[in-house]
Amino acid sequence: MNENDFVVTDLLKKEIEDWEEERKWFQETNAFNFIRQHLDERLLVVVGNQESIRFLKTELDSFNNKDGVLRCCSLFLCVIHGGSLNHDKLMDETESEFYRTLKATFEAFDINQSISRKEVLDNLDTHLNIYLKKKDGQYSVLHHRLLDFLFYYFGQRYQQLIINFADSEMIRDRTVLQSLDIIPQEFTILIDGQNETDYIQRLVNDMLSDHINDVLYNHQMIHKDFRSKLVSHLQKLNDDDLTVTYVFSSIILKQTEKHPKCYL
């Protein structure tokens, strides 16, 4: 038995029975059939097993066509919002931040802007019990390990969207500048050099929108080169409204040299 697999206990047998009962509602895909096969073997598949990663990647790649692009887009929207997307937020058609995210995402995925929110919702439902779960109108990625993989997968293909619209905590914990030339943790998105300025500007935007802690506790803060890049970018800004942010950030950034463990 692979070390990443383990025998399903009696506690999980009921879940398997429920899954079998509900499977008639699922849309059969490679990932669905892969999970079904391993349930037959009484094994629980976890992301980390190279076989499961390969199947998931193949499955997601298959969505990148005309027939599957909306399925891919709907899953992407859930992933970049911290792996959780609310029904009401999705159906709200006011010109909110989510409205701008949705519009830009449709454009990047080459989806007609006239597609209804209901169609996005219907496509989210096709991912239930494979990638997502749903409770009280809240769609969530099944578990953190799967979220890590999905964020990494989409970050390799839609990096500009990730930089502009992903949840601040995900930017903080799951991205690293490629130019720092460090060995990243598994499923960490390497930010290309061509996107570096936009990435750092995203951090500035977070500072100005009540997410300053997500910037100051970014795991890259322990690297002097990263701190220098951030301070250098701040020094180039002309907006007077950024003066306080710059001064405050400079003090904190200098402190990381004395107390780097505070930013681990």
- Residue 158 has a pLDDT of 96
Residues of the chain with pLDDT under 70: 1-49, 238-264
pLDDT recorded at residue 112:
93
Residue 49 tokens, joined: 């097993």
Helix 97-108, helix 69-80: angle, nearest 10 = 140
CB-based contacts of 221, cutoff 8 Å, min separation 6? 227, 253, 256, 260, 263
pTM assigned to the model: 0.76
CB 184 within 8 A of CB 176: yes
pLDDT given for residue 41 in this prediction: 41
